[in-house]
Copies of this chain bind each other. A is one copy, B any other.
Amino acid sequence: MELRPLGDKVVVKAITEETTTSGIVLPDTAKDKSQKGRVVAVGSGRLLENGTRVPLEVRAHDVVLFEPGSGVKVKLGDEEYLLLREADVLAVVQ
C-alpha cells in the first residue's frame, strides 16, 4: 500500500529519537514533539497562479526538520505517517 501526495504535500515518517546522545531515554511527552522525519513521497509540485507547477525542493529519502505540530497524521496498515505541506518543512538535514 503506497501514498501519492497531492500538489505541494509530502509524506513523512517521523523520526523519534528515543535515546539521546548521552544514552538517556526521553519521556513520552518529549517524544511527541518530534520535528524530524524521513520523506517517503512527494507531491507533483506547487501550482502557481500562472499555471506552471514547480517541483518541490525535497525528495524521497531526505531527512527533514519540520514545524512541530504541523501536518496531519494518517495511518496506513500498521504504519503512521505525517502529511505535511512543503511550507511546513523548514530544512533538509545533510
Specify which chain B residues have a CB less than 8 angstroms from the CB of A9 in the assembled complex: 90-91
Among A3, A78, A89, max chain B CB count under 10 A is at A3
Q: Does residue A38 face the partner (Cβ distance < 8 Å to B)?
A: no
Specify which chain B residues have a CB less than 8 angstroms from the CB of A49 in the assembled complex: 48-50
* Known A54-B51, A91-B83: A78·B44 in contact at CB below 8 Å: no
Q: Does residue A52 face the partner (Cβ distance < 8 Å to B)?
A: yes
Q: How far is the CA of A76 from the CA of B94 in the complex (A)?
A: 11
Count the A residues whose beta carbon is within 8 Å of the partner chain — how many? 40
Specify which chain B residues have a CB less than 8 angstroms from the CB of A24 in the assembled complex: none
Closest to A2 in B: B94
Specify which chain B residues have a CB less than 8 angstroms from the CB of A11 in the assembled complex: 91
Chain A 52-94 near chain B by CB (<8 Å), digits 1 or 0: 1010011000000101100010101110000100110111111
Supply 21 A–B pairs (Cβ within 8 Å), ascending by A: A1-B94, A2-B94, A3-B92, A3-B93, A3-B94, A4-B91, A4-B94, A6-B58, A9-B91, A21-B78, A35-B74, A41-B91, A44-B57, A46-B47, A47-B54, A48-B49, A49-B49, A50-B50, A65-B74, A74-B90, A83-B90
